Amino acid sequence: MQSFTNVKISEIQVFDVRVPTALYQIGSDAMHTNPDYSCAYVVVKTDNPTLEGYGLTFTLGKGTDVVVQCVKTQSELVIGKTIKEIFDDYPSFYRLLTSEPQLRWIGPEKGVVHLSTAAIVNAIWDLYCKCNDKPLWKLITDMTPETLVGLIDFRYLSDALTKEEALAMLKALEPTKQKREREMLEKGFPAYTTSAGWLGYSDEKISRLCKEALEEGFTHIKIKVGQDINDDIRRCKLIREIIGPNRRLMVDANQRWDVPQAIEYVPHLVELYINKAEIKNSHYQCPSSPGYGCGLTKEAIQEYEYPNGSYWRKLQKH
């Protein structure tokens, strides 16, 4: 099979894409009460017109423009490199993005630099997968322990895990890798859903979405908590009555509580509504994915690109 890893990156495009989910309280939790689900969406173009990489970093509306600008600034570090050059020494490439001497002042590996790096790196990996004609999970699964460990930058990790220790762990598991791959293909990987549990939803909407999640086969439901303990208990009870005693109810306060509050609140929820029994002889499967980056259509970008997309212009008129 032909490899396209010698393709050279010729351009990086980045778009500020926002969807006004705050209008419907989709994604709302105790800390993020008005999220507009958004992203800095990156397209990595190459000197081969048939090969592009797509990546994004998740944002909540305001500030996406800051991440977009950081991607544009980092792009000069990437343009002109080949995929082979990047993956022959991936830790150095990663450090190139996270440790640029001036940009690292607003990072490193956190905040704006963290988010912009994620969008670029995701697109680079998507492109690498396409060059090798494999989805990401399969590309990584097929790597030798030496190759996989060679992709990791162990700076700031080596006090907890050295490169040699990581290599030994992977080599010890190598004999059972094919068996575990077959298991994943046959059974899928566990997943939960938060679709029913956003904090701004009405009881009626929570009930309807819970029932839909059960019909889709989910056995783990997550609900957002943290604004009012009595209301949290009431909403947890509502979901528990719908999902029954043998499915898992998970709660997420999104950093709303400090330690004393968590110590005070969590026992109420655990005691009353979180099933602690183990699920046995069953599994659930995450939604299928091709394993490649999600490419947005030109029409989608034109509609939701902020602030001049058609959807946002229409919203401003009203």
- Tell me what pLDDT residue 17 has: 95
Using a CB cutoff of 8 Å and minimum separation of 24, what contacts does 130-139 make?
130/4, 130/51, 130/53, 130/292, 131/3, 131/4, 131/5, 131/7, 131/51, 131/83, 132/3, 132/5, 133/1, 134/291, 135/289, 135/290, 135/291, 135/292, 136/291, 136/292, 137/184, 137/291, 138/291
Lowest mean pLDDT among 175-179, 260-264, 301-305: 260-264
**Does residue 218 surpass a pLDDT of 70?**
yes
Lowest mean pLDDT among 54-63, 107-116, 138-147: 107-116
Q: Tens digit of pLDDT for each residue in 259-288?
A: 777 777 777 776 544 443 332 333 222 222
Q: What is the 3-state secondary structure (H, E, C) of the chain?
A: CCCCCCCEEEEEEEEEEECCHHHHCCCCCCCCCCCCCEEEEEEEEECCCCCEEEEEEEECCCCHHHHHHHHHHHHCCCCCCEHHHHHHCHHHHHHHHHCCCCHHHHCCCCHHHHHHHHHHHHHHHHHHHHHHCCCHHHHHHCCCHHHHHHCCCCCCCCCCCCHHHHHHHHHHHHHHHHHHHHHHHHHCCCCCECCCCCCCCCHHHHHHHHHHHHHCCCCEEEEECCCCHHHHHHHHHHHHHHHCCCCEEEEECCCCCCHHHHHHHHHHHHHHHCCCCCCCCCCCCCCCCCCCCCCCCHHHHHHHECCCCHHHHHHHHC
- Alpha carbons 68 and 46: distance in angstroms, whole number: 20
- Tell me what pLDDT residue 128 has: 96
- Tell me what pLDDT residue 3 has: 60
- Band of residue 295 on the pLDDT scale cut at 50, 70, 90: low
- Alpha carbons 192 and 190: distance in angstroms, whole number: 7
**Does residue 302 surpass a pLDDT of 90?**
no
- Tell me what pLDDT residue 275 has: 40
Q: Tens digit of pLDDT for each residue in 27-43?
A: 998 889 999 999 999 99
- Alpha carbons 142 and 126: distance in angstroms, whole number: 16
**Does residue 250 surpass a pLDDT of 90?**
no
- In the numeric block, the tokens 């991440």 are attached to 67
- Tell me what pLDDT residue 270 has: 61
b/e map of 274-304 (b: 16 or more CB within 10 Å)?
eeeeeeeeeebeeeeeeebbeebeeebbebb
- Band of residue 258 on the pLDDT scale cut at 50, 70, 90: confident
How many residues are recorded in the chain? 318
Question: For the chain, which residues make up each domain, given as ranges?
Answer: 1-133+295-318, 136-187, 203-273
- Tell me what pLDDT residue 290 has: 38
Q: Pick 273 or 81 by higher pLDDT.
A: 81
- Tell me what pLDDT residue 294 has: 57
- Tell me what pLDDT residue 251 has: 84
- Alpha carbons 217 and 286: distance in angstroms, whole number: 9
Q: Domain spanning 1-133+295-318: which superfamily?
A: Enolase-like, N-terminal domain (3.30.390.10)
Query: Which residues lie closer than 8 Å to 315 by C-beta, 6 or more apart?
Result: 20
Which amino acid is residue 32, in one-letter code?
A: H
Residue range 78-82: mean pLDDT, rounded: 97
What tokens were used for 217? 């086969």
- Tell me what pLDDT residue 296 has: 66
Q: To the nearest whole number, what is the mean pLDDT of the chain? A: 86
**Does residue 213 surpass a pLDDT of 80?**
yes
- Tell me what pLDDT residue 293 has: 54
Query: Which residues lie closer than 8 Å to 50 by C-beta, 6 or more apart?
Result: none
- Tell me what pLDDT residue 110 has: 79
**Does residue 303 surpass a pLDDT of 90?**
no
- Alpha carbons 239 and 18: distance in angstroms, whole number: 30
- Radius of gyration, alpha carbons of the chain: 22
